[in-house]
Each structure stands twice: as C-alpha cells, then as structure tokens.
C-alpha cells in the first residue's frame, strides 16, 4: 500500500493537515503525519528522515507559517523549519512531492506571532518552490479551504507517480 507523508506546520495548518489525512486515507493510501510520531523532540529529525524515506511521496501543505526550527540547514547555512526540511529531504530522497501552497488569505488555526526573520525565510521558501524546475515537484496554489479540499480530491497518485 502506498504511503504518503503529509507535511505542514503544527501551528496554523493543523486543520488542513487533518483534512489531507482524511482525503489521503479515503483514497486508499496510508497517510504518515507527525501526530503518529512517538519520539522525543531531540530525535524528531531522525524520525522525519525515516518516515519520509519509507514513504512513496510527500504531500506538503505550505502557508505563511515557518513553524519550529530544525537542526538542518539549507545550502546557504540558514536554519530550516521542520516542514521546510521535510520537503527538502523528500526531494533529496528522490520522492515525488506535491506541495499545496496557500496564498495566505485563508482561515488558520491559532498561532503565535513569528519573527520577521522566520516570515522572510518562509516567504523565500515559497518562492523557491514556485520557481524550481524539478520534475519531482508539483505546486498548486489554493485560496480557500474548499479549494484546498478540491485540489486534494483531484490528485491521482498512481498517475502522478507514473509521470514522475
């Protein structure tokens, strides 16, 4: 059975991650989400690596939220958030990645204010996703919860894997 790793920040996008988990399961696939991890935070990166590596694809939900810092860095030495790292690691493992990107104008779960540096980092990450020319990466922008759910329902994972 195909396993789909679902990536999103814990704060701000929790309800979207829950919708994605339900849709992926309803489509007959196994959703892998951070809520299933039973590891201390000190081992979270290793748990992410294992789950992403053993998945068949990554479904990323990306919004304006940076989330929490991981211990990973990008090529320029900047600290990646856990959700940024999940996407980057999946691509490094040659997993197909479909990223649903919020335009920022949608309902969010409660979140704490983020630093200006984190906001800039997340904005740059979103732009880098949109501009990459990697055949394993697909990006779809959504503007509402309904549009998000419709985009998820339209995914034909088997066809997408075959085309990647």
pLDDT tens profile 70-95 = 989 988 888 999 999 999 999 999 99
- Structural domain tally of the chain? 1
Confidence band (pLDDT; 50, 70, 90) for 24?
very high
Range of the domain at 97: 3-163
Q: Please state whether beta strands 69-73 and 79-81 pair in parallel, antiparallel, or not at all (unpaired).
A: antiparallel
Q: Is residue 34 pLDDT above 90, yes or no?
A: no
Residue with tokens 């996407």: 87
| Sign of torsion over alpha carbons 22, 51, 135, 164 | negative
CATH of the domain at 25: 3.40.50.450
pLDDT digits 0-9 by tens, 100-149: 998 866 666 666 678 899 989 999 999 999 998 888 898 989 888 888 98
Strand locations in the chain (E)? 3-7, 30-32, 57-62, 69-73, 79-81, 97-102, 137-142
Task: Please give the model's pTM, rounded to 2 decimal places.
Answer: 0.88
């Amino acid at each position: 059975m195909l396993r789909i790793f679902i990536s999103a920040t814990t704060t701000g996008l929790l309800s979207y991650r829950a919708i994605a988990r339900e849709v992926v399961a309803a489509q007959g696939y196994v959703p892998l989400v951070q809520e299933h991890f039973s590891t201390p935070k000190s081992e979270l990166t290793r748990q992410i690596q294992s789950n992403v590596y053993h998945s068949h694809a990554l479904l990323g939900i990306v919004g304006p939220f940076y989330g929490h810092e991981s211990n990973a860095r990008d090529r320029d030495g900047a600290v990646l958030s856990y959700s940024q790292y999940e996407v980057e690691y999946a691509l490094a493992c040659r997993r197909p990645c479909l990223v649903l990107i919020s335009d920022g104008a949608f309902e969010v779960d409660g979140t704490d204010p983020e630093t200006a540096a984190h906001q800039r980092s997340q904005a740059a990450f979103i732009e880098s996703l949109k501009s990459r020319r990697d055949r394993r990466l697909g990006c779809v922008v959504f503007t509402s919860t309904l549009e998000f759910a419709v985009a998820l329902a339209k995914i034909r994972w088997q066809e997408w894997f075959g085309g990647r």
